[in-house]
């Protein structure tokens, strides 16, 4: 296993395989299937460790763990002009900025 493993793992049930799938967000092409969720986690962690070791031995740089990245809180989204107009009107009617309206709508989706 990796020392100080900071990668982001997820265990989910695979209906197609009828087993648990161990996944790593930073390595979307990798997975590990097992009938036991704990074994699926252990399996994907070992696969990631092996891939990172192989990448380093070939002079490649493994992806940065998501947990180590800094997020500014800003991102740009392109939307159709009609939706932009609709949201701007809605924000104006509510007496808030368009940024605040979008952030509120995103928070509601997250809940």
Q: Can you give the pLDDT at residue 10?
A: 97
- How many CB atoms are located within 10 Å of the residue 37 CB? 15
Residue 109 pLDDT > 90: no
| Calpha distance 38→45 (Å, rounded) | 11
Whether residue 18 contacts residue 8, with contact meaning beta carbons closer than 8 Å, is answered with: no
Residue 3 pLDDT > 90: no
Q: pTM for this one?
A: 0.72
Give the residue extent of every domain in the chain: 9-67, 71-110
Find the Cα–Cα–Cα–Cα dihedral 39, 44, 46, 51, rounded to 10°: 170
pLDDT digits (tens, 9 = 90+) for 11-34: 999 999 999 999 999 999 999 999
Q: Can you give the pLDDT at residue 63?
A: 96
Give the tokens for residue 59. 């002079």
| Calpha distance 82→78 (Å, rounded) | 12
Q: Can you give the pLDDT at residue 104?
A: 94
């Amino acid at each position: 296993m990796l020392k100080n493993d900071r990668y982001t793992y997820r265990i989910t049930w695979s209906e197609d395989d009828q087993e648990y799938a161990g996944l790593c967000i930073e390595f979307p092409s990798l997975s590990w299937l097992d009938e036991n969720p704990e074994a699926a986690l252990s399996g994907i962690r070992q696969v990631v460790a092996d891939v990172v070791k192989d990448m380093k031995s070939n002079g490649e740089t493994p992806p940065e763990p998501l947990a180590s990245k800094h997020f500014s809180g800003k991102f740009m989204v392109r939307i159709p002009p009609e939706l932009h107009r609709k949201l701007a009107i809605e924000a104006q009617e509510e007496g808030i900025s368009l940024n605040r309206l979008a952030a509120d709508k995103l928070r509601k989706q997250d809940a």
